[in-house]
Amino acid sequence: MAAVGADGRLLGLAHYLFHTSVWTGSSCYLQDLFVDPDARGQGVAADLIEAVAERAAAQGATRYYWLTQAHNARARALYDRVAQHRGFVRYDYPLG
């Protein structure tokens, strides 16, 4: 999904996917959210999050979630306004 300005310039994009889950049925995972640095602070990220939420609801998803780095204060300030942090910590097992 992309956000495009009135001049046709790409302002941001969101990559997301749907998957099943043992506990919640269909889930929507926001894999990546990027906003052009010149467009940050203008509501582009919030608009993209909401647009994906609408698609997730339309697809019948019962969960919509994403990850971010703990030190990403600017993004976390937005995420704290639009979603709930539920305290999970992610671990990655090295496979190769």
The catalytic residue positions are: 79
- Please name the residue that has the structure tokens 């956000």: 3
**Closest by Cα among 78, 63, 10 to 38:** 10
- Quote the strand ranges of the chain, DSSP E: 2-4, 10-21, 25-35, 63-66
19 three-state secondary structure? strand
